[in-house]
Every structure is written in C-alpha cells, then in structure tokens.
Structure 1
Amino acid sequence: MIHTSADLATPPRIRRSQRLALVLLVVCGVINYLDRATLAVANEFIRADLGLSLGQMGLLLSAFSWSYALCQLPVGALVDKIGPRWLLGIGLVVWSLAQAAGGLASTFGYFVIARIALGIGEAPQFPAAARVVSNWFPLRARGTPTGVYNSASPLGVALAPLLLSPLIVATSWHWAFFVTGAMGLVAALVWIALYRDPVHAGMSAAERAYLEADGAGGERPASSFAAWRALFRHRTTWGMMLGFFGSVYLNWVYLTWLPGYLRTERHMDLAYAGMAASVPFICGFAGALIAGWASDRVARAAVSPLSGRRNAVVVSTLGMVAFTIPAALADSNVVAVACIAVVIFLANASSACAWSLATVAAPPSRIASLGALQNFGGFLGGALAPILTGYIAQTWSFVPALLTGAAIAFCGAMSYHFLVVRPIPEQ
C-alpha cells in the first residue's frame, strides 16, 4: 500500500532536519542574490567610474548568466552523483571569492571575468536545493519547501538596495563586493558543518514511511551520463527548458535593469529609486512563499502532481505578461511600480512552481539533473535579457524592451502548457 503524505505525521527528527536544511538554504540563497544584485545596485557608479555605455553595462550584467547557464549542464548531474552538501559548499567558496574579486575591478574586461567566475560558483545553488527538498520531503509536500528556498531570491534582491546603497554612499562601490563576498565565505563554513543528507539505514520505520510516502521511496539508481543524456529524448525536458527561458527572461529584465530603468526612464532620484526598486522584490518574496504553499494544495487536488504544478507555472507566467504591458505603458510612476510589483510577485511564484515541478516531473535519480536543465534554459533567457534590454533601451526606449520581454514570457507559458504533459520515467 502506498501512503500519501497527508496520511502521515512528520516524525520529530525529520522535522528538525527539514527546518535546518531550509534555514541554511534560505541564508545561502539570500547571499547568492545579494551577490548577483550588487552590480545592478552599483550600476550608475560603476558606469561612471569605468566609463561604460548602456550597451556595455548590458554585456557586463549578462556575463554572469552565460557561465551560470552553461554550468547547469554538468552541475545537476554532479549534484545527483556527489550530493548537495559538498557541491554547494564548494560553490559558495568559489562564488564568494569571485564576488570579492569584482570589487577589485578597474577595467571592463577584468569585471567580465569576475562575473563569469561568479556564475560558475553559483551554479550548484538551486539544483542542490531541489535535491535537498527531494531528499527530505515526500512527493506531494515539496511545493511549500520549494517556495521557501525560492523566496530567498527576491528577498536577497529586495535587501540589496536597502543594505548596499548606504554602504556604497558611505564608502565606495568596491566595498559592496568585498562585504558580500566575506558573507558567502562564512556561509560556506556553516553549510558544510551543519547540513547532512538523510541516511535511510539509520531511520526508524516511521521515518522511512514518511519519506517514501506518495510512492516516492525505494532505491534510487545511480546517476550516469547516459541517464542524464536520456533526459533530452523527452519533450517534457524541452518544454521545461523553453518555458523557463521565457519566465526567467522577463524576470531578469527587472532584476538587472529595474534600478537603472527607474532612474533613466522614470527620472527618479537615487533614494526614491532605491526604495521603489525594493518594494517589488518584497512582493516577490511573498509570491514565492504563497506559491509554494498553494501549489501543494493544487497538486493534492489535481489529477496528478505534474499537472497541478505545471498549471500553476502557466497561470503565474501569463500573469507576468498581463501586468508587464501596463507597467511599460503607464504614465504614472506609482501605477508602473505597482504593476512591476505584481509582475515580480508572479515571477517568483512561477519560479517556485517551476522548481517544484522538476521534483515531480523527473525520475527520482535525476531530480537535480532535470532541475538544472530547466535552469539552463532559464538562464539562457537570463543572459539574453540584460543585453537585449540594454540595446533596445539605448536605441529606442525601455517601453519596447519591456514589451519584448512580455512576448518572450508568453511563448514560455505556451511551452509549459503544450509540452510538459507527463513525468519522465526512471531509466
């Protein structure tokens, strides 16, 4: 008989491990996104100091995403094979050193290299988090913890202008990179010291029954290159990659250009733009948490966990499209920021649901692998977004740049809807 997660209470020892894992993932995720957002917050200061055009800044903002996206290809399989503890720990050290190195940049070329290294180091964060959730939570209860660790993304971006703007004004933009790099090194030590994967041999019958609820248990075959390569034979994989491309593209238009957009297009002063740029990402924090909780409820009521989580991604992505259009066209700054807040709320809801979709669409041995492939597709969009947005804004304005993002996100929603129709079987 297959139990469902709703039938079983969480054993106390499992609950403690779940809470510790989620706290650590959120802390690491906040630092991860503080590091990514540092360049966006210091955008004007760096452009002035290094003499960069909007187009060059777009290239610099995208350098991280190219290496991050390409590293998703091997890193998911490595997480499945080696485990999240050491992959994420090593990644934390690499990305923190790269972040600190960014503070030493004095030329455009050096800065690009530092951002490429940052992307390499940050690559294990979300595949490792997906693996942690699949290790410690049963199948139909993975939406809420996925929403929790995804909430670190908008929380880190929301905190970035609030914490880093005063630091930059008091010192210089260089210190924003040094301080966040040091935070990551401390987090690496804490993660490696405290996190452990579950050891089923040492568990009680009740603990094993809880983790194996909803038919998610059993021995997991060892991951291999052939098994990873086989994922590309399924249209579910391609639907998730193309769908996340659209969602992340539009999200990264705002993530990389929102402070600059508010200053350049909306003519806000630095203090007001900093506050206005933080509010939407606070809404995004709420979006990730609410979406994770709601997707668990939808998945339990849906025909299958896959259809429930896929439909949640499609609806939230279409909502991003719907609210980006008035954000681009409204004359009122208040209306524009309010619409952007809704878009970022839905963007983070879409991301949380997309990562929880990976835990039910993939076979048990390849959860991190499929999640990383989806993330690879997404961050190809994330890499393209700042470049294309910068050049469109430089040539015309930010209005067609935002509308372009909306069109790409719509195509992503359709990819999820029509291609992601069944889970991938275990090989």
Structure 2
Amino acid sequence: MTHKRAWIALLIFTAVIINYMDRIALSVAAKPIAAEFGFSPVQMGYLFSGFLWTYVLCLIPLGLLVEKIGAKRMVGGGIAVWSAATAVTAMTTGFTSILAARLVMGASEATTFPACGRIIRDWFPERERGLITTLFNGGSTAGPAIGAMVAAALVSSFGWRTSFVALGALGFIWLAAWLIWYGQPETVSWLPEVEKLKIIKERNGDQAHKLGDDPEPSSLGYLLSQTSIWGLVITQACLVYTAYLFLTWLPTFLQSTRDLSTMNTGYLTAVPYLITMILGLTIARFSDKSLSSIAIQAGKRRNFIAAMAILSLLILLGPVVTSLWQLLLVLTLVLTGSTTGAGLNFTLASDLLRNPRDVSRVIAITAFGGNLFGLIAPIITGYVVSGTGGYIWAFRIAAALLLCGAFVTMTMTRKPIEPQFGPRKA
C-alpha cells in the first residue's frame, strides 16, 4: 500500500504554516512598528486583532460556497489575495493603512479552514483524520514558530518592512505547487489505483454502505438547530481564546517581563510552538489508534479535547514562575493543550457528521466561534495589561474559558449530526 496521499497532507499543512507566519509577523515586528509610529498597547491590540474582524465575518459565507466553487479554487484564490496583502503591508504609512492591509488579509485567509476540512474528509480514511486534522491545524503552531524566527531575523537584519515582502512572496511559491498537483483523489493521475480505492472505501467509515451518494448539504438553519454544533462552537471559542492570546501577545510578554531582544524573543517564541506541534501529533495519533470506528462516530474524541483544555489551565503559572526555562515549559504545555484541543475539535466535527458535504459548513461555523473569541483576546489583553500593568488577570480570564470548554465538550457534543436531506437520486 502506498501513502502518496501524504503529499496532500503536506500541502494543506504548509498552507496553514504560511497563513500563520503572515499573522505573527506583525507581533514579532511590533516593537519597531510601535516605536516608528508611536502606537499605544491598545492600538497594537486592535492591529493584532484587525485581520480577525474580516476573517470572522467571511468564514461562514465562504464555508457555504466551498461546495459550489470547489476546494482547489477556494484555497488557491485565498492564498493569492492574502499573500499580496501581506506584501503590501511593507508600504503602509500608519495605523489606518496597516489596519486596511490586515483586514484584506483576514478576509482571504477565511478560505483555508472550511475548504481544507472538506479536503481532509475527501482524501483520508476515517481512522487517519485525527492525525491529519491535527497536522493541518498544527500549522497554527509551526507557522508562528517558523514565522517568529524568520521574521525576527529579517526585522533584525533588514528592517520590519522587508519581512512582510518576503513572507508575501512565499505564498505565491506555494500557490504554484497547489495549482500543479491538487485534485480530487478520484481524478489525479499521480495516485496509485490501490490507494485510491482505499481512500474511497474508508473515508466515511462504516457509513459508506448506508449513505450511497452524498445527500445535498444541510442548510445553515438546520445545522444551527443541532446541540452538538453549538457544543463544537463554544468549545472552539474557549480553546482558541488562549491560542490567540499567545499568538498575538507572547512576543511582547517575553520582551516586557524578561527584557529580551527582538532576535532572542523570536527564538524563545519558536521553542514552545515547535515542541507543541510534536506533542500534538503524538496525542492525535493516539486518539486515532485508541478509538474504534464506533467510538469515533459516537464522538468519544471529546474526552481527549476535555483533557487538553484541563492541561491548558497551567496558564495560571505563566506570570508567577521565575526561571525562563520553567516559563517555556509552562507555555509549551499550555499551547499543546489549547492548539491540540482545537485541532481535535475540528476532527470531532467530522466524526459527528454523517454527510461529508456538510463538513466545510460545520468547520466554518466552528472556526467562526473560535476566531470570534480569538478576535477579542488581543483586545481584552491589551486593555487588561494597560489597566493592571501585568498579565496575571489576562491569564486568569483565559483559564476560566478553558474550564468552560472542558465542560461544554463533555456535555453538548454527544449526538451525531444526521443529514437534513435524503441521499441524492442517480
């Protein structure tokens, strides 16, 4: 048996890496940008979250369009626009122009998760989805790690504007590879026939013989009437709040509390993210191997998600540990819990759905909840840090939400999501 489908996993993984490299570039360059333009912590909080405003607004509309436009065009078009917006940031002249570039970037980045959720459902057997989805979502940890080092090196050596141009160019290189190699598993010429048959047979588990042709996608109203959908959304929101608090404020937190240079901050930001990706993939692989097909379809992956939320409560130790290496250990475990839990929550959405054509819509709805809280996380943190002069209460707010997420996933995601319509007739 060949495993050439791994190339698809690599493509979508690197797409998210580039996505998040572009997001964290502003955080790494925050100190020289704030110094050049005289921005306050509150203004930086708005700039950090600016791309999420349009990201959140566009998630569900773009998720509804995936089935019509197709995943290939959706992902390709998105990365073309956001890479251009990233590069244009280098030409900005103040708060308004930086914010405008971030808004365009956010709208176009909203294509990735809904479309790639459908790609994972199409391309990978049921008992590989936890690993692949966590790998895909792991781009949200690898991206900041790589982006922090690359952007820090560019900012230190050539200035902050150069970093945005280089990252924008990277996106267009990826786009060329995507246009050449991506297609449906049924149609691509480079996929061996035996692997193609395995993918088609196993991607829906034991539901394949029941559904026949996929039903029409369920309506937004129908999906929002399902308790499990709201469980997914609230859980994602509670986990992603912490993930975005770190994504946007971690470099500034390290600089202000440990008096680090931009270059050292880049390296020390990268360490927790890189280790987190390895730990997350290990946990996701274990969830795939330890759960039967029946357990997967019953939503038992929720137990892993709750455990990840509890692990992230270590965030309460962040402001009080004294050693730098103790702090890095705490940050690594918190990131592992929040980002791995969020990735497994996307997998749980696919586990519970009986209609593959609903996947992009439900991933979009779930991501909407997560990123809505991601949007407010840097703003709230900016006000809290400005008002209290420290990070203790910022981290306590995140901990309270993590507790809420653990409770919600265990109580509200117990019912499978059936199709709204019957199978399509031939």
- What's the TM-score once normalised by structure 1's chain length? 0.91
Q: How far is 1:273 from its partner?
A: 2.3
Are 1:263 and 2:255 counterparts?
yes
Pick closer, same or farther for the CA change 1:304–1:168 going to 2, 3 Å.
closer
User: Is the 1:364–1:426 contact (alpha carbons within 8 Å) kept by the matching residues of 2?
Assistant: no
The match for 1:343 among 324, 334, 344 is 334
Asked if residue 324 in structure 1 is aligned to residue 311 in structure 2, the reply is: no
Instruction: Flag as ranges the 4+ runs of structure 1 deviating above 6 A.
Output: 200-205
2:305 touches 2:342 (CA, 8 Å); kept in 1? yes
Name the count of aligned residue pairs: 411
Q: Which moved more, 1:324-333 or 1:49-58?
A: 324-333
- Tell me what 1:272 maps to: 264
CA drift of 1:304 comes to 4.2
> C-alpha separation between the residues in 1 aligned to 2:331 and 2:208?
38
User: Which amino acid counterpart does residue 422 of structure 1 have in structure 2?
Assistant: K
Residue 422 of structure 1 and its aligned partner are, at CA, apart by 1.2
**Is the Cα–Cα contact under 8 Å of residues 236 and 366 in structure 2 kept in the other structure?**
yes
Q: CA deviation at 1:254?
A: 0.7
Identify the residue that residue 370 of structure 1 maps to in structure 2: 362
> Is 2:401 aligned against 1:414?
no
C-alpha distance in 2 between matches for 1:127 and 1:291: 23
Superposed CA offset, 1:251-281 (max 9, x none): 1111110010011123233333222211110
Does structure 1 residue 106 correspond to structure 2 residue 106? no
Residue 384, structure 1, aligned to residue 371, structure 2: no
- 1:76 matched to 2:63? The reply is yes
| Secondary structure of 1:106 counterpart | coil
8 Å contact from structure 2 (residues 201, 208) kept in 1:
no
Q: After alignment, is 295-304 or 363-372 more displaced?
A: 295-304
Unaligned runs of 5+ in 1: 1-10
Q: Secondary structure at the match of 1:426?
A: coil
Confirm or deny that 1:32 pairs with 2:24: no
1:221 and 2:215 equivalent?
yes
1:333 and 2:324 matched? yes
1:140 equivalenced with 2:127 (yes/no): yes
Within the candidate set 138, 152, 160, 1:151 is matched to 138
CA distance in 1, matches of 2:188, 2:149: 46
Residue 197 to residue 52, structure 1, CA distance change in 2 (3 Å)? same
The answer for the alignment partner of 1:308 in structure 2 is: 300
Which whole-Å CA distance do the structure 2 matches of 1:334 and 1:148 have between them? 26
**1:425 equivalenced with 2:412 (yes/no):** no
Unaligned ranges ≥5, structure 2: 421-426
| Partner residue, 1:62 | 49
Task: Tell me which of 36, 39, 45 is aligned to 1:49.
Answer: 36
Match of 1:92 in 2: 79
**CA deviation string 1:187-223 (max 9, x = no partner):** 1122122100133899779444344543246311233
**Cα separation, 2, equivalents of 1:411 and 1:150:** 22
Alignment of 1:199-238 (within 5 A): 199=186, 206-207=197-198, 208-216=200-208, 218-223=212-217, 227-238=219-230
Report the residue type matching 1:366 in the other structure. Answer: D
SS at structure 1 position matched to 2:300: helix
Q: 1:206 to 1:116 in 2, by over 3 A?
A: closer
Q: State the shift of 1:24 in Å.
A: 0.9
* DSSP-derived class of the 1:174 partner: helix
Q: Within 2, Cα distance between the matches of 1:22 and 1:297?
A: 18
Deviation at residue 353 of structure 1 after TM alignment: 0.6
Where 1:197 maps in the other structure, the secondary structure is coil
Q: State whether structure 2 residue 176 is matched by structure 1 residue 186.
A: no
Q: Amino acid of the residue matched to residue 418 of structure 2?
A: P
Q: 2:188 & 2:94 partners in 1: Cα distance?
A: 54
CA 201–38 in structure 1, closer or farther in 2 if over 3 Å, else same:
closer
Change (3 A) 1:172 1:293: same
TM-superposed CA distance for 1:308, in Å, is: 2.1
Q: Contact between 1:147 and 1:290, CA under 8 Å: does it hold in 2?
A: no
- Aligned residue number for residue 347 of structure 2: 356
Partners of 2:197 and 2:155 lie apart in 1 by 52
For residue 329 of structure 1, give the secondary structure of its aligned residue in structure 2: coil
Aligned equivalents of 1:280, 1:233: Cα separation in 2: 38
Relative to structure 2, which stretch is displaced further, 398-407 or 272-281? 272-281
1:247 alignment partner, one of 235, 239, 248: 239
Distance 1:255 1:105 in 2: 22
Query: How big is each residue's C-alpha offset from its partner over 1:22-56, in whole Å with a ceiling of 9 and x where there is no partner?
Result: 11112212111110110111010111111100010
Q: Distance in 1 between matches of 2:328 and 2:414?
A: 35
**2:253 counterpart letter in structure 1:** Y
Q: How far is the alpha carbon of 1:408 from its aligned partner?
A: 1.6
Separation in 2, partners of 1:102, 1:302: 49
Distance in 2 between residues matched to 1:306 and 1:45, nearest whole Å: 50
Q: What is the aligned partner in structure 2 of residue 173 from structure 1?
A: 160
